[in-house]
Amino acid sequence: MPTMTPGITRASDGIDGISWDILGQTYVPKQLSEDSFAWHATLPSGTFVPPHIHPTQDEFIYLVEGRLDLKLAGEDHNAAPGDLIRLPMGIPHGIFNNGGDTVRCLFWVAPTRRLFDLFGKLHGLTDPNEVVRISAEHEVDFLPPDEAA
């Protein structure tokens, strides 16, 4: 994995021109090193990331535009532009765009572990069961529906 280099990733650019479509959301990688991985995300209204756990990473979301509803450690929360969402490793969390508008935000995780590779494998998949299976192989564990509430 590369060492982070100084510089600027322009708003219109991603690493190596990459843009992933993951279940209707667009993820554009902006920074990658062993210690951290950042990506810009566009979440259309009505899309979500079901409750899951990162057992080996802390995750953060800086909300730029729109509103997110969250399930964090079993509690309901919401976030607005300018808010920073902190998702510690091992804590279940789900992310929902119920606001009617497109959400734009910056995600990052530390350390990177296998998440960059996971997104490449999920790009274009439409079967949620396959997404869950592949995610588990890359250290992201989706919760069964009865545990996600």
For 65-83, the pLDDT digits (tens) are: 999 999 999 999 999 999 9
- What pLDDT is stored for residue 146 in this prediction? 65
- Burial class of residue 87, CB neighbours in 10 A (0-12, 13-18, 19+): buried
Classify domain 18-141 by CATH architecture.
Answer: Sandwich (2.60)
| H or E stretch covering 145 | helix 145-148
* Model pLDDT for residues 88-128, shown as the tens digit of each residue: 999 999 999 999 999 999 999 999 999 999 999 999 999 98
The DSSP output letter for 123 is: T
What's the predicted TM-score (pTM) here?
0.94
Residue 3: predicted pLDDT:
83
**Segment holding 72, helix H or strand E:** strand 68-72
One-letter amino acid at 115 equals L
> In which order are the strands placed within the sheet that holds 25-32?
20-22, 25-32, 37-43, 103-110, 58-65, 84-87
If you ran DSSP here, which 8-state letter would residue 14 be given?
-
What is the Cα–Cα distance from 67 to 145, expressed in whole angstroms?
23
Please give the Cα distance from 118 to 27 (Å, whole number): 12
* Closest among 93, 101, 100 to 76, alpha carbons compared: 93
The span from the CA of 29 to the CA of 75, in Å, is 29
Whether the per-residue pLDDT at 148 is higher than 60: the answer is: no
Encode pLDDT of 31-67 as tens digits. 999 999 999 999 999 999 999 999 999 999 999 999 9
Structural domain boundaries of the chain? Answer: 18-141
